Amino acid sequence: MSKFVFITGGVVSSLGKGLTSASIGLLLRSRGWNVEMLKMDPYLNVDPGTMNPFQHGEVYVTEDGAETDLDLGHYERFVGKYMHQKNNITSGAIYMSVIQKERHGDFDGATVQVVPHITNAIKESWLRLEKPEIDVIMIELGGTVGDIEGAPFLEAMRQFQLERPREDVAFIHMTLIPYLRASGEVKTKPTQHSVQKLREIGIQPDLLICRTTQNISEEHRRKIAMFCNVRPENVIEEQDVEFSIYQVPVMLMEERTDEILLKRLGLEVPPIDLTQWNDMLEKVRQPRERVKIAVVGKYISLTDSYKSIYEALTHAGIANHAAIDLLRVEAEEIEEQGAANVLRDVQGILVPGGFGNRGVEGKIAAIQYARENQIPFLGICLGLQCAVVEFARHVCGLQDVGSMEWMEPGKEDISKAVVALMDSQQNVVERGGTMRLGAYACWLHEGTKAREAYGVEMIRERHRHRYEVNPQFVERLRRGGLVISGNNPDSELVEIVELPDHPWFVATQAHPEFRSQPVLAHPLFREFVAAALRTSR
Ligand code: GLN
């Protein structure tokens, strides 16, 4: 039977619960335990796929094509293991499944209620992760204790602890210990209140992880412990990191978090091996060079919107012993000021994925600038589509072409769509189309930069898009000099394009950022940053 660890948060949101859960997952895994992760999001959307990135940050896509919370990205990057649909649930998905059963008559005339029907469905989502080979299941609840939407999840946790032996279920509560500069003291009251709230529900946390900017003194630890009914050694301090989020696991280990947790669960504490992780951190701590990379997007004001892109760039920096100076550019700014003005002193330009037509002309201008000025460029998903349109317009002389996505609804002109909607038979269609979601194979062609970067012939990358390079334009683009470096082996759809006479101009229809790891940078990001470094020397 697996052990269950629940992680809740209190006082304020954005405490880095996802990072902390992922870090603990890494520590347990590095001690040889097999860990599974689950993120529970209390909102009513069935998944975050339909949510605006401004509201909820990036939509993280898994191998099996689930559109999930970005915390799954932290889980994959830290725990080093792929997540799937089953690793993320929402209130929306839970309610939908219960209501569907109700309509189907599965409840035998019973009154369907939050307790027990919703809480049972929540517990079932936990049990689906339980397997003989899984030692610990870490379950993180989004939001903070006291949120109306979170209540059924907490109730399910309360019930669950009584259904299992005591040492099989542990609770971690994450809080904030604010520091008041005026009086020069840290305040424990919000933590006390948050734990009180949890205890009212019937949950007693075993470990408290306290986010803080200051050292928490022994005296304060004892005070927190006493008022929150936990052992003083179980009050864990998680200070703001100095230079990298990848320090968090090491900080938590120094506080003996994993050891305390394992003992509480009645599990052994085998020696830990963090060699690879520490080597990686050393490179972050002491970069040999710096390189300025522009990310030209449309959800730039919120860092979470391009979370995995920024992380993948960081990983690529680490792999090259370099630090990345990120210039986050709003595409519309380029439309107003011109690419040369905005991008003058950058060594690399990345255009990430996106939806809709706001800002695309700015992205196209940025790509044209990268192409004409030999500045390393990496295009991702919409970034590839913009690159192909830019090439068709400015190199192939097809001046008024574009993507069907940017044309006025009802007035789409297929003959001008270099990027178009396709049905499942690869026919261009005006409406509908199929969303490519999840991992697809790509065959890389000999002699291309992409093939050289990956070092293998067949790869798999995750997708999340509706539009494709229109096969009817491929020959025209080729004649103009665009190299198709990768195709889908089944449909022949264009997956990767590049330019031969350029330091590094590669664009992919997939989202390689989701597969990048701190200890193993993604090849396309790694080579993009390497090229940017070369041009800056
Ligand atoms: N909007 C484009 C499409 O649906 C690109 C999507 C993306 O960049 N993820 O094809």
Per-residue pLDDT, 436: 92
Question: Angle 419-424-426 (CA atoms, 0-180°, nearest 5)?
Answer: 45
Please give the distance, rounded to the nearest whole angstrom, from the Cα atom of residue 295 to the centre of ligand 1. Answer: 17
Closest of 206, 235, 205, 243 to residue 218, by C-alpha? 235
Q: Which of 58, 238, 513, 527 is catalytic?
A: 513
Per-residue pLDDT, 6: 98
| Beta carbons of 316 and 323 less than 8 angstroms apart | no
In angstroms, the Cα distances linking 139 to 120, 188, 250, 439 are: 16, 26, 21, 25
Q: Which of 56, 220, 511, 522 is catalytic?
A: 511
Q: Which atom of ligand 1 is nearest to the CA of 381?
A: 8
Per-residue pLDDT, 500: 97
Whole-prediction pTM value? 0.94
Per-residue pLDDT, 105: 94
Pocket lining: 382 vs ligand 1, CB cutoff 6 Å: yes
Residue nearest to atom 6 of ligand 1 (CA): 465
Question: Angle 379-381-382 (CA atoms, 0-180°, nearest 5)?
Answer: 85
Q: Which atom of ligand 1 is nearest to the CA of 463?
A: 9
Counting Cα atoms < 13 Å in the Cβ hemisphere of 496 gives 33
Give backbone dihedrals phi and psi of 46, rounded to 5 degrees, phi first: -70, -35
Q: Which of 381, 386, 396, 442 is catalytic?
A: 381
Pocket lining: 354 vs ligand 1, CB cutoff 6 Å: yes
Per-residue pLDDT, 299: 87
Q: Which atom of ligand 1 is nearest to the CA of 468?
A: 10
What residues in the chain have per-residue pLDDT under 50?
Answer: none
